[in-house]
């Protein structure tokens, strides 16, 4: 049975809020939880959008596509961002989904579709790179 996008967000929000570590704002890591990475911020959607848009370029990502109605940002990494990308010439894509699940509570999902195979190849590159902490810093600076 195919669920609508709002139903998917509601289910994801309920699951996330039921897990105490996620509700407390802890970051899930690839080794502990798998992908996608997610975090709940106790602020409105507009503030999270502004923080993500500010954070990605500072972390070496180039925003390629953004649609607020869909709640999606797609970005590619700057080839200079890490040694693996630099030496292989491989560019990684990131998809960030942003959705306000309740007034003043916004959920962020981050997925690296091309990273999954690399995790199984034991590449020592950490795709998370404190991105959630950097987003939180930009929210806190407002």
CB 78 within 8 A of CB 58: no
Q: How many CA atoms lie within 13 A of 61 on its CB side?
A: 23
Structural domain including 76 reads 5-140
58 token code pair: 């500072």
44 token code pair: 């409105």
Into how many domains does the chain fold? 1
- Say which CATH number the domain at 52 has: 3.30.310.80
What pLDDT score does 90 carry? 67
DSSP-derived letter for residue 29 is: -
Interval 60-114: pLDDT, tens:
788 999 999 999 999 887 665 566 666 776 667 788 999 999 999 999 988 876 5
User: Please, which residues bridge with residue 102 across strands?
Assistant: 105
87 token code pair: 């030496």
For CA atoms 3, 69, 91, 55, the dihedral sign is: negative
The region of weakest confidence among 6-10, 22-26, 33-37, 72-76 is: 22-26
Q: Taking 50 as the threshold, does the pLDDT of residue 14 lie above it?
A: yes
């Amino acid at each position: 049975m195919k669920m609508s996008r709002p139903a998917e967000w509601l289910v994801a929000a309920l699951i996330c809020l039921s897990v105490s570590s996620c509700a407390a704002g802890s970051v899930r890591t690839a080794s502990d939880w798998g992908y996608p990475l997610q975090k709940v911020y106790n602020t409105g959607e507009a503030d999270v959008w502004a923080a993500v848009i500010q954070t990605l370029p500072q972390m070496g990502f180039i925003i390629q596509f953004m649609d607020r109605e869909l709640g999606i940002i797609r970005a590619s990494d700057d080839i200079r961002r890490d040694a693996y990308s630099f030496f292989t010439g491989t560019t990684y894509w990131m998809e960030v989904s942003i959705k306000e699940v309740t007034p003043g509570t916004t959920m962020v999902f981050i997925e690296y579709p091309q990273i999954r195979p690399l995790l199984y190849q034991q590449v020592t590159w950490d795709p998370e790179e404190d991105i959630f902490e950097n987003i939180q810093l930009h929210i806190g600076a407002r």
